Amino acid sequence: MIATKGYAAQTATSKLEFFNFERRDVGPSDIQFDILYCGVCHSDLHQVRNEWGGSLYPMVPGHEIVGKVTHVGAKVKKFKAGDLAAVGCLVDSCRECENCKQGLEQYCYNGATGTYNARDKVHGGVTYGGYSKQMVVAEEFALKVSETLPLANVAPLLCAGITTYSPLRHWKVGKGHNVAVVGLGGLGHMALKFAAAFGADVTMLSTSPNKEADARKLGAHHFALLNDAKQMKDLKSKFDFIINTVSAPHDYNALLRTLNTNGTMICVGIPPTPIELMGFALLGNRRSIAGSSIGGIPETQEMLDYCAAHNIVSDIELININYINEAYERMLKGDVKYRFVIDMASL
């Protein structure tokens, strides 16, 4: 076993604190890498505080992980010591079901293994995430990272990036489409960047007028206020797609009415309460509501390669690990532009 250290929550109500633990030894098909940066996702906070249920403690969060390879197993082909590597939200899946065979490991019928807070069905125990110094992972679930981009800013691409890239690609969003992005946070700012890069006409929908300048810098061509009745009326039947990144309770019906004929609202945020839908909001214009969850390993690699080719990264605030509890409180208030990233050299 490999001794390492990180930050962990011991209970749903405790703060994250220093934690010594062990990683498995490097197997023939594994790589080991030193973690250099780890993004802080809102889902980290949800799971630390057991807001989704089923949390396992002690918990080392973090699934936006980038670092440098130190050891590789005898059968590893993609990586060598000194290479950059990344891990996103998954560290394993059954690899045999139809979805896994299609590179849709995130929808593994037998249950993919999360990077943290998951039972490791192969090696036993519980998975620990990226708020730590080292990582050991199967080569098949490790990703190649370009050396041309700032590594700290790459880290959030492993969740915030792929969560918004995947639905835009699946629904083939691009030139000729009117797209709205709802919510300007970690997910929303990446949705703006990708939708604009793909050639769509992009509108930012927000409740905060002071976010307009940032939205336009990030790629929005237009800006409208969700709480302005006239502006929302003017947007009736305008959009082909909506990327809804909001995880707080909000009015889905008002958003649906802004969709054009055959328009689709794609939800990537996870509100804490059931969604309330009015039948007429869906029936009018034959609208659809859909969901999307991260991306599989091939698509995540495609996204990283696209970002390297088009110089796309996340906007971040770099923090030390001992600031993580304060960062969680600020994240609850939306007080970050637009993703906290931990410099693991501070551990």
| Domain assignment present for 302 | no
- Whether pTM > 0.75 for this model: the answer is yes
**What CATH number is attached to the domain comprising 47?**
3.90.180.10
pLDDT higher than 90, residue 217 = yes
What is the structure's pLDDT at 284? 87
Pairing of strands 288-291, 259-267: parallel
> Do 107 and 31 share a domain, yes or no?
yes
> Do 134 and 187 share a domain, yes or no?
no
> Do 167 and 145 share a domain, yes or no?
no
Per-residue pLDDT band at 143 (split at 50, 70, 90): very high
pLDDT higher than 90, residue 266 = yes
Long-range CB contacts (< 8 A, 24+ apart) of 47-55?
47/116, 47/117, 48/9, 48/12, 48/16, 48/328, 49/12, 49/13, 50/12, 51/272, 55/12, 55/117
> Do 84 and 141 share a domain, yes or no?
yes
Based on the structure, what is the number of domains in the chain? 2
| Domain assignment present for 309 | no
**What CATH number is attached to the domain comprising 241?**
3.40.50.720
What is the structure's pLDDT at 39? 98
| Domain assignment present for 12 | yes
> Do 51 and 105 share a domain, yes or no?
yes
What is the structure's pLDDT at 271? 86
Q: Tell me: the pLDDT tens digits for 297-328?
A: 999 999 999 999 999 999 999 999 999 999 99
Q: Domain span at residue 99?
A: 2-159+315-346
| Domain assignment present for 305 | no
233: left (phi > 0), else alpha (psi -120 to 50), else beta?
alpha
- Unique residue bearing structure tokens 């197993």: 73
What is the structure's pLDDT at 272? 84
| Domain assignment present for 306 | no
